[in-house]
Amino acid sequence: MEIIIYLAGEIHTSWREEIKARSNALQLPITFVGPMENHERSDNIGEEILGEQPNAILKDEAASSINNFRTQILMQKADIVIALFGEKYKQWNTAMDASLAITSGKPLILIRPKEHHHALKELSRKANVTVETIEQAIQVLSYIFEEK
């Protein structure tokens, strides 16, 4: 049984690499997918494909339409969503992806630093599991495949 996991969340640190490395080390039968991790390219993809836009808002709209397209496809392929909230940034798209997962019936693991517990309380209550570290998330994933 193969499982596909969408890794939603910030693209400023290398947390996706860490989660993939640990999953590989345990030989879990998981394929990970996610957003474009090159932040600059993600912001520029609209103009890269559609040409220069009249202003910053329209540049953002062009980029987000293509990023949303990518996310929608990969999310629909996914069996599980992991959403990680970092310590900085608004991260509203992470909250959007997490909520989409819950509403679509896709199991959700939330990774967040403890200090965000108050601001994330409603999302956390709807997530299947809330953890504080990548190590804990990997343990939860590993448990799916364990028999003893």
Contact 82, 107 (CB under 8 A): no
Q: Is 134 in the site for a second copy (CB under 8 A)?
A: no
Among the listed residues 106, 102, 94, the one whose alpha carbon sits nearest the alpha carbon of residue 15:
94
In the bound state with a second copy, the residue whose beta carbon lies nearer, of 25 and 56, is: 56
Quick one: which of 36, 47, 86, 134 contacts a second copy (CB under 8 A)? 36
Q: Is 21 in the site for a second copy (CB under 8 A)?
A: no
Bridge-based pairing of strands 3-9 and 80-84 is parallel
Q: Is 44 in the site for a second copy (CB under 8 A)?
A: no
Q: Is 3 in the site for a second copy (CB under 8 A)?
A: yes
Binding to a second copy in span 70-109, by CB under 8 A: 70-74, 76-77, 79-80, 85, 89-93, 95-100, 102-105, 107, 109
Quick one: which of 22, 47, 67, 134 contacts a second copy (CB under 8 A)? 67
State the minimum distance, in angstroms, from the CB of residue 116 to a second copy.
Answer: 8
Q: Is 52 in the site for a second copy (CB under 8 A)?
A: no
Bridge-based pairing of strands 129-131 and 108-111 is parallel
Beta-carbon neighbour count of residue 74 at 10 Å?
A: 16
Quick one: which of 22, 58, 86, 134 contacts a second copy (CB under 8 A)? 58
